[in-house]
Amino acid sequence: MHALAMSLAPDVRVNCVSPGWIETKDYAGLRRKDHLQHPAGRVGRPEDVAELVGWLLDGKRSGFVTGANFVIDGGMTRKMIYEE
């Protein structure tokens, strides 16, 4: 991503979206402890990722952003404690 961002600039912006736990099927079946292990207080949904990607695609709002990695994981990589 970094090399592409530098190689393709300024004509193309290159960014990376790194999702964590995004539940795509049975969100209602998740347990309370599944949600509570995330600092954000819940497991992610596909819409969370879609909102970020939509923002990145909008050159008026994100046109100055390139070479960035967006970790969208409800804070799990900052917590660094994974419970079962």
- The pLDDT score that the predictor gives to residue 64 is 97
For the chain, domain boundaries = 2-79
Burial level of 82, CB count in 10 A (0-12/13-18/19+)?
exposed
- The 10s digit of each residue's pLDDT in 38-84 is 999 999 999 999 999 999 999 999 999 999 999 999 999 988 665 56
The label of the residue with tokens 């530098």 reads: 6
Mean pLDDT rounded to a whole number for the chain = 94
- CB neighbourhood size of 72 (10 A): 17
Mean pLDDT of 1-15: 97
Alpha carbon of 59 to those of 3, 10, 54, 78, 79: distances in Å? 21, 13, 10, 29, 32
This prediction's pTM? 0.88
Q: pLDDT at position 81, please?
A: 65
For the segment 19-36, the average pLDDT, to the nearest whole number, is 97
Report the pLDDT value the prediction gives residue 79, as an integer from 0 to 100.
Answer: 84
Q: Which CATH superfamily is domain 2-79 in?
A: NAD(P)-binding Rossmann-like Domain (3.40.50.720)
CB 72 within 8 A of CB 48: yes
